[in-house]
Amino acid sequence: QVQLVESGGGLVQFGGSLRLSCEGSGFNLEQHAVGWFRQAPGKEREGVSCISSSGASTAFAGSVKGRFTISRDIAKNVVYLQMNNLKPDDTAVYFCAAEYLGGCRRSIPEIDFEAWGQGTQVSVSS
């Protein structure tokens, strides 16, 4: 059974940085695409970034491009979302999700991912 646990969220000031981790159990990262999503209060969940199961493809939402990067550590079975130059609009609950032998489409649709974590809160103060 695939289980995902996010960590690394917290409160940070405008312009600060955080690194989120998505740790998986019950699955091999090398065989799964992983996506990061976020949901702000009163808003729909949106795709932030993804990396394909091969690691060859990545995608980023326009609002985070140039500020966020995604990477993975196969040995630790962890996917990271490095978030730099954070803004108050980045405040949200961040979720990671995984899909067996999945790709990474530019639109980062939720439907591409089957297994989901519980989320971690990121708050950015102005």
Tokens of 52: 């394909």
pLDDT digits (tens, 9 = 90+) for 61-75: 999 999 999 999 999
Backbone angles phi, psi at 30, to 5 degrees: -65, -15
Residue 63: alpha-carbon gap to chain centroid:
14
d(CA 80, CA 78): 7
| Strand residue runs (E) in 26-76 | 32-39, 46-51, 58-60, 68-73
pLDDT at 18 over 90: yes
- The confidence score (pLDDT) of residue 29 equals 79
Task: For 22-56, write each residue's pLDDT tens digit.
Answer: 998 887 878 999 999 999 999 999 999 999 999 99
Angle at 38 between CA 20 and CA 124, to 5 degrees: 65
